[in-house]
Amino acid sequence: MPKTIPVANELTKPFWDAINEKRLVLQHCDDCGKLQYPIRPKCWQCGSEHLGWREVEGKGHILETMVVHDTRVVRRKGDVPFNVSVVSLDEDPTINFLANLPGTPAHEAPQGAAVEILYEEMEPGTFIHDWRIVS
């Protein structure tokens, strides 16, 4: 599946370094204790800039799911139709990820299904994360 390899910047580098080690780390606010994703320079809850990183278990559930039949992303045109699901993290259900659910045919992603993170090697040593249904 021709997905894009992300380019890490200073802010997101710890996240992508961990993904390359097959670990999921999220920002953690030292002031209010909230986990945060997507990665931002400040805490979205309390505005604090005192953010660290915390490893979390890559387990979640499908909150919502849809199927993409047409895409403007040229490199994904050969993949349609494909799933785009919103995954909520079990450790903090307010944290959401988008998932393509590799291995699950389009239209067969059940809402509420348990998922776990997976790491796809895009080129040697470079991984991206996705989620798969736990059977």
The residues of the shown chain that bind Zn ion, judged by CB under 5 A, are 29, 31-32, 43, 45-46, 48
Please state the closest distance from residue 130 (CB atom) to Zn ion, in A.
28
> Which residue's CB is nearer to Zn ion, number 48 or number 71?
48
Half-sphere exposure of 108 (CA within 13 A, CB side): 8
> Which residue's CB is nearer to Zn ion, number 33 or number 93?
33
Please state the closest distance from residue 58 (CB atom) to Zn ion, in A.
23
> Which residue's CB is nearer to Zn ion, number 46 or number 80?
46
How far is residue 83's CA from residue 62's CA, in Å, rounded to a whole number? 11
Q: Where are the alpha helices (DSSP H) in 4-135?
A: 13-20
Residue 125, sorted as left (phi over 0), alpha (psi -120 to 50) or beta, turns out to be left
Please state the closest distance from residue 92 (CB atom) to Zn ion, in A.
13
